Structure 1
Amino acid sequence: MVKAVVAGASGGIGQPLSLLLKNCQLIDELALYDVVNTPGVAADLSHISTPATVTGYLPKDDGMKGALTGADIVVIPAGIPRKPGMTRDDLFKINAGIVQGLIEGCAKYCPKAFILVISNPVNSTVPIAAEVLKKAGVFDPKKLFGVTTLDVVRAETFVAEITGEKNPGKLNIPVIGGHSGETIVPLFSQSKPSVNIPAEKLDALVNRVQFGGDEVVKAKEGAGSATLSMAYAGYRFAEKVIKATKGEKGIVEPSYVYLPGVDGGDAIAKATGTEYFSVPIELGANGAEKAIDVVSSANDHEKKLLKACYEGLNGNITKGIEFVQNPPSK
């Protein structure tokens, strides 16, 4: 039996993500949680002829407890998009607080569940989650993941447009670092099968992977962000975690993890100077079985990108840890 939970299920990412998870044949129970509309979303999805039974919960009547109790995997896309006049700092405080509250619920009601954090800024929300779980005495670094799969999906898609590959999903391109702007570092030199990116197109391609979200915001004329592609990416990673727990071997996908807590992570933490970092992770029955070092094989162009990545990332990580250890005044 697999019980999956979507926390933030009524939102722009949450609804399509819930639809994809309902379509997954590996899930027996799908619990949806949000502050509004969840019973309606659940009722709608429950009419789909796939195995998962669907329930929807609101905060009232101990809804968080109902949704999270017995969960095997919790996917968290909860949060609000930036509104006009709102600073990034305002947005950070709101979303950080939302994630903190949900992780406190996970620590209480499903401490052994795999937790997949989508809520932005991932570079900071994953350290927030870790600090909350540490405080509760239930932190398992192998079970906490920041979902950076959208960067991988974009890299595959944009490279395929250049090389002419008909099925972008056949490409395997490690994208490492963090999950915003310059902290995102695609390692095209380590693509499998190998790809030939013309030198004059490389900088623009890197920039497009790093700032692909801006492309979507612009196309939606400020009325939304990357919700559908993010839902697909979140589903892709969640499905891989579930498959690995069911015994499938050889599943590797980049994810943003606490390196010192994962086998092979110490060496990468030493090389990068960061404790949280996205690298290809070998998934297994217990979660993150092994962090794979692709950093040491980066070429000169990628090393320059990594230097900028480390600087930005460490600031983001510190901000997340500080948020829990020294809460901002209300």
Structure 2
Amino acid sequence: MLLKKFKLRIVPSRFPWCLMARTAFKVSVVGAGGGIGQPLSLLLRKVKGIDELSLHDLRGTKGVAADTGHISEHGTVSGYVGEDELEPALLGANLVVVTAGMPRVPGMTRDQLMQANGGIAIHVIRAMACACPEALIAITTNPINIIVPTAAEVLKEAGVFNPHRLFGITTLDVVRSRKFIGDFMNINPRKVNIPVIGGHTGPTILPLFSQCQPEFRGDTEDILRLTHRIKEAGTEVVMAKGGAGSATLSMAYATCCFVKSLIRAQNGQEGIIECAFVASSVADAPFFAGPVELGKQGVKRCLKLPVLNEFEQKSLDNLLPILRKNIEAGVHFAKTFKK
């Protein structure tokens, strides 16, 4: 059982908000004018605990800030536009969510996507190192398997790297797993708990059906089919949009879920578990996606992997070389990037 193997559920606990200590909290969204950033900005206006929402992009954020700022919820919203306003947007942030970058289009490889988005990520992380070096950093920009190690190297170069405060958001893989399994079992997806480990590309995503709660009611063929769909769900959305976009709305929803958990942990709530791609020693790779207990400093601990079944162990063995190669590519990109 998941509770026995991981000790804690991979869902935010329902601990009463009023019993937690509250501190002022500023969230900066970089890429707030984009396909993920706009719906995320809207969703974040409903999140308790955000006192200031700072929105930045190369264009359009003044309007997004004005629009979302009219919503009758607590907190202020400010918009920043252009490279010159990046650091002011980040100044004093407690959490920076990086959604900036180009979406994946049909036929584009992860290497091509990295060439498009790697430089953007480095520019943003360098600005953060100056404006808010102690902030939590949550990255949605793809390819996450490569971007997050790149960000770590940039932070190391600036002398402000804290492995407990850097996250690659893989919550969407969990969200999709819950939805697909819930539909298959004809139950509310919110009642499904399943860890998704590895990374955030098709070949490195591994949902652990053996740890599913409630117990998965299906045969081996069902597991293989659903695993494949979870791995390729991003492509499913890209094709459904006719190549004109990627998974933006569901990613915004998943990112908002992760942000809620981070803020609850920041305010002292215990036992919050989310899957994320972080610096880790639980597997044979320096970064790994898996269940993480969140705390006031970010990552409180990475939960150890449970005993896997034969299929899961073989899948893990197959994905680790790919993941290590992705991580090495991220480190190399950071070290060779021209300033």
Superposition TM-score, scaled by structure 2 size: 0.90
Cα deviations across residues 121-179 of structure 1 (Å, max 9, x unaligned)?
000000011001100110110000000000000100111111111x2022110000000
Shift of 1:25: 2.2
Cα deviations across residues 101-136 of structure 1 (Å, max 9, x unaligned)?
000011110011000010000000000110011001
Amino acid at match of 1:189: S
Of the candidates 264, 267, 277, which is equivalent to residue 246 of structure 1? 267
Could you tell me which runs of 5 or more consecutive residues in structure 2 were left unpaired when the two chains were aligned.
1-23
Matches within 5 A, 1:16-165: 16-59=39-82, 62-82=84-104, 88-165=110-187
Checking the alignment, whether the CA contact within 8 Å between 2:106 and 2:243 is kept in structure 1 is: no
Between 1:90-99 and 1:12-21, the stretch displaced more is: 90-99
Shift of 1:87: 5.5
Checking the alignment, whether the CA contact within 8 Å between 1:142 and 1:288 is kept in structure 2 is: yes
Q: Aligned partners of 2:154, 2:253: CA distance in 1, in Å? A: 27
Q: Aligned partners of 1:195, 1:88: CA distance in 2, in Å? A: 32
Could you tell me which runs of 5 or more consecutive residues in structure 1 were left unpaired when the two chains were aligned.
260-265
Shift of 1:230: 0.4
Shift in CA distance, 85/276, structure 1 to aligned 2, threshold 3 Å: closer
Superposition TM-score, scaled by structure 1 size: 0.93
Report the number of matched residues: 316
Higher relative contact order (CA 8 A, sep 6+): 2
Checking the alignment, whether the CA contact within 8 Å between 1:182 and 1:305 is kept in structure 2 is: no
Shift of 1:213: 0.7
Cα deviations across residues 202-239 of structure 1 (Å, max 9, x unaligned)?
11110011110111112111111110000001110011
The answer as to 2:36 corresponding to 1:13 is yes
Q: Aligned partners of 2:36, 2:268: CA distance in 1, in Å? A: 29
Shift of 1:85: 7.9
Map of 2:238 onto structure 1: 217
Shift in CA distance, 187/245, structure 1 to aligned 2, threshold 3 Å: same
Computed over aligned residues only, the root mean square deviation of the Cα atoms, in angstroms, reads 1.5
Shift of 1:86: 5.9
Checking the alignment, whether the CA contact within 8 Å between 1:25 and 1:52 is kept in structure 2 is: no
Q: Aligned partners of 2:75, 2:323: CA distance in 1, in Å? A: 38
Q: Aligned partners of 1:139, 1:10: CA distance in 2, in Å? A: 28
Q: Percent identity?
A: 48
The answer as to 2:320 corresponding to 1:310 is yes
Shift of 1:83: 5.4
